[in-house]
Structure formats: C-alpha cells, structure tokens
Structure 1
Amino acid sequence: MKKIIIAFAAILSTLYSTAQSTVNIMNGVVFFDGYASVVSDPTPAGVIRFRNDLLTKQISSQQLDSIGDQLTIKVTISALCDNYDRIGGVNLAMVPKGSTTYNTETVPKIEIGRFITPFMNKNVQPTSVPYTFVVNNIAQILNSSELNALYDFWLELEVFGVPYAANTQVSGCSGRNDVFQGRVDFITNNSNSNYDPSVAIMPLSFKANFNNYQAGASDAVGTTVKTINFTTTQTIYDAKFYLITSNHGAGNNGEEYVRRVHNVSFDGNPILTYTPGGKSCEPYRQYNTQGNGIYGSTPQSTSWWTNWNNWCPGDTIAIRKISLGTLTAGNHSFQIAVPAAQFSGQDGNFPLSLYLQGSKIEVLGLEELNHSSFTLFPNPAKDAVQIQTEKEFSAIELIDASGKRMLTETKNTLNLIGLDSGIYIIQVHFTDGMKSSQRFIKQ
C-alpha cells in the first residue's frame, strides 16, 4: 500500500508543478478621504472605485487557472497622507457570471483578511507595510468549477483613512486628500493535488456592527450578545467557521485598547473562548514612523503589551478557524458574546465577519490515503480506470466537482469516455456497509 501511495504522489507531482508563483491582482490603487465625496481620479486598468475607501477588480480566468490548492494573499499598504492607524481588509465578492460591475452592498461576499495600518509618515522609511494571510480554503473556493459556473470572483481592497492630521503634521500633505496606496498579490503553489472538488460556502456576516447601543447591532440594546441563525439544506462535511472580530473606538482607554473575553457558542454549546491580543507589538515598531501615543520612544516588554493591547498597528487581525466536523442539514445558530464590553459615549464597534465553509461530499483527505481500502490505476487516466480491492463491494461511484454522481458501476472498471477532464472522486461502497473514497484525475 505504501508503494502505491508513493506512486500516486509521484504522478501528482509530475502532473502539477509545486513551485510557488506570484500573481499580481491589484497594484497602484489609491485611497482617499473616507468621509469625503467619491473622487473622480482615474484608477488602474480594470479597477473600479465604489467608495474612496473601497476598490475592486475581477480575478481573470487566466489568474484563476494559475491558483493551486495553497494560497497566501500578500497586501502591501504604502503611506500617503494619513499618518494614523486605520482598519483595512480584503474581501472576496461572488458576482453573477458575466457582470461588468456589481452592487457591493448586495452580492454575496466574505472578508478574507483584515489588518491595521501603522502610524506612517510618508517621508520616513519604511513607507510601506506588508500583510500576509494564509488562506488555502479560499483556493478551494476559487478552484470550484461549480462556483465558477455561477459567479465571477472579484477581489476588493478596503482601507478607510482620513488626511486631516497629516495635512498639518506631514510635510508635503497640506491640502491633499489621498491617504494610502495598495497592492495585492496571490502567492500560490500551482498544484491541485489536495483539491476539494465540492465546496460548500455560506456567507453569514460581513463586517456587521456589533455593539450594545445601536438597534440591530446585538440581540438587544444594552447587551453585547449577537446571534446569527441560518439553515443548511444538506449535510456539510468538514465544516468550519471563519471568524474575524476586532475592537475599535469606545473613547480613551475603551474597547479599542482593553482586552475582553469573547465567548462563542454553536447550537447552544460553547465552542470557543478567546481574548484578542496577547502578543508583543515590538516587531511592528519599524513601520510606525510617525510619532504616536501607543509606541512611545523606547521598546516595551511583552508583558506590558499583552496587558492591554488588542492588536498592533501594522499587524494583521487573526482569522479564527472553528472546526465543526459534520454539520447536518437543518436550522443552526451561531452566537458571540463579549459580556465585559463597555462603549463609552455610544462609541466603538466590534466589526463582525463570519462565513461557513465545508464540503458537500464526504471524502478522505490525503493524510488518510494510507488507510484507504482500495487502489485505482492508472491515475491520471483517459479512457478507463480500474479499482482493485480485497474486500467485496456492491457499487463504485464516480462523483464530479459539484457533488453530482456521474457513473455507478458494479464491476471494477469505470468507462471514462465522454467525461470532461478534471478532478473527480471515486467512492467504493463495500458489502459490509463501509465506504472509501479517493481523488482521481481524468485527463
């Protein structure tokens, strides 16, 4: 069995290059005063400006074809005329196929990365800060043939900034309203050997207001408890929540700076307790080139930082992955509570983003192949594939990327003529009631 697994890995390695490559998605985009009217300044080719703080560009089919099953998103933010710490993020919008633009408020979309800008002076090096997000689960979405048949994928880069302080504090910024410049790159491995062919995705909350003073921002005014109810129409395997929260505002020494315990429950059961922060901000001091009230003039100890700070100017915000296992079809409830939160003078917010992702079919992961109860060959194959097993079986099914069963056979040979090229699942049903699955490549 080990020899077969090694051979299988060798075939995949030959078929797909594992070398990393960098794909530029967006470059040279400029953000302007977030409170001002939308500017008319030109944008780079293909980029649409929805707001001064929000720009978008479609990920081309050629770029999608280059994305493997591993993906890191690198965002580079450069200083212009905002020298304060601001919130930014990267969003993936799923836009109806063939659209030349879209309504960013109504299309399904998910936040896939959030960051805080440092206090940057554009005249002091370094004048840019890099942020990286390892988002292999997003690669699964971008590779899904089912989702690609329904949607075009657009990448949004969002950075809210204002130039008012820099207008007087930063040389060369008098009278200007440009605040930051941005770039987004995809770093990928160009391999689909660990590709999930049947992705389930449910956007549940996108930067929703979460506070205790605004109607609709929590379950009830005066509380910091927010419940999100949703319904799944089918079983979702290997289901995971992807959760982003960060505290902002609430006055001097308020929620922006005071660490609070967050409690998360699912279907009435506690599943996660976390307190944001808990790390030293010293590694990001180099990017904070403008004098500010957070860093001071001398380095601080780790215990000093972790005693109070939720996040670091110049750092990413954590993406919290919560594994649920198999999620049965039906009604479900996600709840988050921050019982100690205090919002001074009805100020401050916990922007809440949440989505659910999993698989529509139950498939063995690559780490489980050593325990598979059958072998198949050749793989890849063009016209036919044979299954070999010592156990008695009742049926063999071939399942496509959307979860649709394309073939069912009671013999150990599957005829592949007429099937499109791509990655499929072969699932063997044994007479003892067990079943086993493997990924398979049709040339």
Structure 2
Amino acid sequence: MKNLILFFTLFFFGTTFSQNYKITYLKSSNGSLIENQDPIVVFTSADVTQIGSKNIFNGKADFPNETTIIDRKTNSFNQVANLNTTKTIHSKDSISLGKQTFDYLSDTQKILGYHCKKAKTIVNSNTIELWYTDELKVKGAPTILGQNLGLVLEMVRNGNFVIKATKVEEIKLFPTKPDLSKSIDMLTYKDLLWKSRFTTISVFKEQIINFSDASKSSDSILCFANGTIAVRKIKIPEIKVGSQIFVDVTEQSNGDAYDRTGSFFIIPTDKPISFLDGMRNGVKTLPIYNNGNGKEYQGVVAKENYNPIVELMRFFTPFGVKQYNTLQLKDKTWAENVLYRQDVSDLRTMLSGKEVWVGINIGNYDKGGHKVSANITIHNEEETKSKPTQIVPLFCTNNIMEMAGQEYGTMFSSDKGLEVTFILDKPMRNAKLRYITTGHGGWENGDEFVPKKNTILLDRKEVFSFTPWRQDCGSYRLSNPASGNFPNGLSSSDYSRSNWCPGTVTNPIFIDLGDLEAGNHTLQIKIPQGLPEGNSFSSWNVSGILIGE
C-alpha cells in the first residue's frame, strides 16, 4: 500500500510541476525601444514552444495574426494564421529547424540573472547574434531561429535591432493549442497570409484585348472599338487617409508581335457627357478641341459639361512576350509575361467609397491581340491627419478609341499646342499637375526616337519644362522576343525613346503650381512636334490632372 501511495505521489508531482515558462520580449532599434509595440510572448516547456504576441494570446490582436508552435519531440513546427474571425490556416515544417547552423563563441553575459552564452549565424546577409541560457532546462526563442540552442533571451540583428527578454515567469498552464489536423503546403500558406494583409479588387481576369468584329460585351464587361477597349463598373470600399493604393496589370501577347500603347484608366461620370458616352454612341459625340491646325480632336480636354479620362497607369506592351517565346537566341530565356505595377495613392479621393467605371485599352490591329489581367489593391495604414484633396481632370490626348476613329494627338504641330481652360470654385493650395507624356512616331526622324522639350504654361506663364527621355530600354530585352535585330548589334527594344520603353510603365511626374485662386485658369502644353514624312507622322500622348488641397 505504501508503494502504491508513493507511485501516485511521484506521478502527481511529476506532471503538475513540470517546468513551464512564459517569456516576454521587447524590440528596440538603435538603442531605443520601439513605441507602441505589441510584446512578443513565448510559452515553452520540455516538449512544446508557442510563439505569438501579447495581444494574440489575450484575444485582442488585429487580423491577420500569426503564431508558431514547435513540437520538440519531432523537431518540427507549425505556422498558424488567423486570417479573420472564421478562417484559420496552418502549415507544418519538418525540415528548417534541423538545417540551422551556428558559430559558438566564448562570450558570456547575464540577462535577467541567467548566465547566457553566445552564438552567431548569417541569414540573408544579416548577422544575427543570439544569447541563450541552459539554466532553465527548456528551449525556446522569440523567432524560429535558435530554437534548439537553449532558451534565447536576446537576439541582435546587424548590431542595431534587438529583441530582448524583459520577464521570465514560471507558469502552470499553456494557451489552448489550435486544431492542426488540416495542413496546407508552406508556399500556399505564405501566399494566403500575404494576400490577407490587403484588399484586392480584381478588375479584369485574362481579358482579351484585340481587334476583331467578333469581340462581344458580357453582362459585366463592355467591349468597344472592335475589342481594343474593355470597361466595367466596380465598387471600391472606403479607403483610410494615409493608406497605399496600387494598380497592377499583367500582359502577354495572344498573337500581336508589336509594342503597343496601353492604358488602365478611370472614366469620370460626374458631368452630363462622359467618355463612356463616346464609346457607346461614337467618337463624334464627344466634345471637340480645335487648335487651328485643321483637325478635330475628340474628348481630349475638360469642358463645362465633360471630363476626360484619368489614366491610372500608362504602360507599353513589349514585342510579343509569351506568344513568340519560340524565337530562340543563345543565352536568352524569355519572360512568360510582363507585370506593370504602380502606386496611385494620390488618386484616393477619386476612388474611396465610389462606384467607378474602369477601363483598359491596348491599341492594336491584331485578331489575337493581347491577354491582360488587372487589379487594384488597397494597403491600409494608420489613419493620418490630412487636408481634403481636390482632383480636377484636365486633359488626355491618348487616343484610347484610336480603333474607333479618335484622332491622334497631333495638336502640337501648331504654336497653340494643347490648351485647356478650367474653373476653380474655391482656392486650391499646393496645387500639382500629375503629368504623363510619351512621344510617338516610329521612324528614324519620328518623335518616338527624337528628344523633344515639353513646356507647361499656367495662365500664359511658363511654370515648367523638361525633355522626357528613356535610355534604359535595353534593360527589358528578355520581355521582347519578337523585337527586330539590326546589323549594328542592337535590337529595336534597346533603343532609347521619348519617355517609354517596350515592356514598361511610364511614370507620371508632379509639377508644382503653387496656390491657385478661385476662378478661371488656363493650362497650356507646348511640344515642338516633328513634321510628317510621307504617310508617317509624329504625335504625343499627354494626360494631366490637377491635385491640391
């Protein structure tokens, strides 16, 4: 009987008083604690370690949030992510912990009264120093790194970023372990976790942009100009001030071998006439701009009853990416597609909480054309104080409806160039012109290959001038399999151009206009456009919007 009592006594104390610890860590940078941080918390025992944050374990963390559970018996770990209130994902890694290697150094120090030894390793060119103790007979660390060293109480990255234990507590109970029965592969896990951190609005998915009488609209996507334009209405949620907004377009050839002008754009519908009316009813129904050179330019400047399109992003297709990858050159591995991505956070007030018409266009005359996907992504930041922003669309000479008869931007052949008059109902402070410009005329003396000065005048006074020119086009050779090769050893896609390259985005520039008073103003763009040669002519695609407080 005494032996039986002794057995149960040993079993009781052996299970109840096993060593379980809670360690709290804080992060500092360049010797200063990071403000308003959520402390890292590690729970650890002989068999299990859990890593998270104070708010996660208290059920107060924002979504998404992530914890790590190490199984010391199998030397593996599970990454667990709560994407929202109803969806949790996890993935198991049985390899990474066993691959970690360290240099063991002779340095020692005491942290929170515990004798610590030092190990060092290099991860992605970062030097990591870890201080760990064996005195508590358990292992753990505030990250996956160093889990098998001992109990890591301090980590130092590159000498200036530190994660250091501030408290070690012995505890009786661990946090509840989540259900780990349905695992996904780590690559899928990381992708789902990354995508859950921002909002993605899918605008177009593998949309064909081609030139064909067979191109038809669907219930959600309208096609115009023989299929060279696709348009749809989307709803954009409220976007917090200070958040980042990006647009991205993925393109590959579906038959067209040439470099083409593309545009991802918004159609303002706040005035009686819109560009959408011109697409539906014909380009001649759009307001006309006439600068005295004998041509009529449809829908290119703002009028009292009309706003031109606003370009989110101007992009240029390369020569036949994907479709013509079978054209082989030694030591050249062609890209499968081209990704264009741009920050458009400055257009927040045009997008936030709105239903907007969004379109995409690639000017081409090919039946196969191009295949594109396009998204808008919203990346929330902390709310910031900001003055209200006004956005005033002014002009766009990019002839989106080229294949439906819209005139090319050749108005710069006259001294008047492009001129738009606009009215401000109230003063605008810190006004800026968001200006996109590219020159075209694809022969030796065409403006595509000849630098030309752009001059901007406000109320008849010059405010800015520059010569838009790209000299980095050769950087994108691997996106241009069908680009022609010349006797001098260059390919067509290598040549410098007037602010664009095959396979790139043309970024807007921001021109300071200062404080503008309420009332009438005139903005003028002058470019010394080259003269025609035979059937060849030059043109300029310029677009501009006014942004200010």
Same fold (TM over 0.5): yes
CA displacement 1:245-286 (0-9 Å, x = unmatched)? 211126443111111121222223322222122431122111
- Change in CA separation of 1:132 and 1:339 when aligned onto 2, cut-off 3 Å: same
Deviation at 1:327, TM superposition (A): 1.5
Q: 1:129 aligned to 325, 338, 346, which one?
A: 338
Q: Which residues of 2 match residues 191-270 of structure 1 at below 5 A?
A: 191=381, 193-194=383-384, 196=386, 198-207=388-397, 218=411, 222-223=414-415, 225-249=417-441, 251-270=443-462
Structure 1 SS opposite 2:356: strand
User: In structure 1, what is the Cα distance between the partners aligned to 2:522 and 2:62?
Assistant: 43
Q: Does 1:87 align with 2:270?
A: no
Q: 1:286 aligned to 451, 470, 478, which one?
A: 478
Q: Does 1:185 align with 2:375?
A: yes
CA contact under 8 A between 2:408 and 2:539: conserved in structure 1? no
Aligned partner of 1:70 in structure 2 is 244
Q: Does 1:317 align with 2:526?
A: no
Deviation at 1:206, TM superposition (A): 2.0
CA contact under 8 A between 2:317 and 2:503: conserved in structure 1? yes
Q: 1:60 aligned to 226, 235, 246, which one?
A: 235
Q: Does 1:356 align with 2:549?
A: no
Structure 1 SS opposite 2:506: coil
Q: 2:315 aligned to 115, 118, 127, which one?
A: 115
User: In structure 2, what is the Cα distance between the partners aligned to 1:131 and 1:186?
Assistant: 12
User: In structure 2, what is the Cα distance between the partners aligned to 1:215 and 1:60?
Assistant: 32
User: In structure 1, what is the Cα distance between the partners aligned to 2:504 and 2:345?
Assistant: 20
User: In structure 1, what is the Cα distance between the partners aligned to 2:499 and 2:532?
Assistant: 15
Q: 2:522 aligned to 305, 327, 333, which one?
A: 333
User: In structure 1, what is the Cα distance between the partners aligned to 2:251 and 2:262?
Assistant: 9
Structure 2 SS opposite 1:193: coil
Q: Which amino acid aligns with 2:388?
A: S
Q: Which amino acid aligns with 1:154?
A: W
- Structure 1 residue runs of 5 or longer lacking an equivalent are 1-5, 8-13, 164-176, 360-443
Aligned partner of 1:154 in structure 2 is 357
CA contact under 8 A between 2:453 and 2:465: conserved in structure 1? yes
Q: Which amino acid aligns with 1:156?
A: G
Q: Does 1:25 align with 2:203?
A: yes
- Change in CA separation of 1:53 and 1:324 when aligned onto 2, cut-off 3 Å: same
Q: Which amino acid aligns with 2:453?
A: V
User: In structure 1, what is the Cα distance between the partners aligned to 2:394 and 2:384?
Assistant: 26
- Change in CA separation of 1:94 and 1:228 when aligned onto 2, cut-off 3 Å: closer
Deviation at 1:115, TM superposition (A): 1.2
Q: TM-score, normalised by structure 1?
A: 0.62
User: In structure 2, what is the Cα distance between the partners aligned to 1:295 and 1:328?
Assistant: 57
Q: Which amino acid aligns with 1:326?
A: D
Structure 2 SS opposite 1:30: strand
- Change in CA separation of 1:81 and 1:274 when aligned onto 2, cut-off 3 Å: same
Deviation at 1:352, TM superposition (A): 2.2
- Change in CA separation of 1:208 and 1:238 when aligned onto 2, cut-off 3 Å: same
CA contact under 8 A between 2:437 and 2:499: conserved in structure 1? no
User: In structure 2, what is the Cα distance between the partners aligned to 1:215 and 1:90?
Assistant: 18
Larger radius of gyration: 2
CA displacement 1:21-45 (0-9 Å, x = unmatched)? 4332211211112xx54x34465x6
User: In structure 2, what is the Cα distance between the partners aligned to 1:196 and 1:66?
Assistant: 11
CA displacement 1:309-363 (0-9 Å, x = unmatched)? 642111112312112232111221212222363333462211221111223xxxx
Q: Which amino acid aligns with 1:337?
A: K
CA contact under 8 A between 2:447 and 2:538: conserved in structure 1? yes
**Count of residue pairs brought into register by the alignment:** 318
Quote the RMSD (CA, aligned, Å): 3.9
User: In structure 2, what is the Cα distance between the partners aligned to 1:67 and 1:26?
Assistant: 26
User: In structure 1, what is the Cα distance between the partners aligned to 2:229 and 2:359?
Assistant: 7
Aligned partner of 1:374 in structure 2 is none
User: In structure 1, what is the Cα distance between the partners aligned to 2:363 and 2:448?
Assistant: 16
Deviation at 1:89, TM superposition (A): 0.4
Structure 2 SS opposite 1:95: coil
User: In structure 1, what is the Cα distance between the partners aligned to 2:209 and 2:382?
Assistant: 35
Structure 1 SS opposite 2:266: strand
CA displacement 1:200-242 (0-9 Å, x = unmatched)? 2221112267xxxx999538x6437322222212111232111
Q: Which amino acid aligns with 1:269?
A: K
CA contact under 8 A between 2:447 and 2:529: conserved in structure 1? no
CA displacement 1:132-190 (0-9 Å, x = unmatched)? 121111223212x6xx4xxx312111111122xxxxxxxxxxxxx12001111123212
User: In structure 2, what is the Cα distance between the partners aligned to 1:182 and 1:295?
Assistant: 34
User: In structure 1, what is the Cα distance between the partners aligned to 2:362 and 2:408?
Assistant: 26
User: In structure 2, what is the Cα distance between the partners aligned to 1:231 and 1:136?
Assistant: 25
CA contact under 8 A between 1:72 and 1:132: conserved in structure 2? yes
Q: TM-score, normalised by structure 2?
A: 0.51
CA displacement 1:374-401 (0-9 Å, x = unmatched)? xxxxxxxxxxxxxxxxxxxxxxxxxxxx
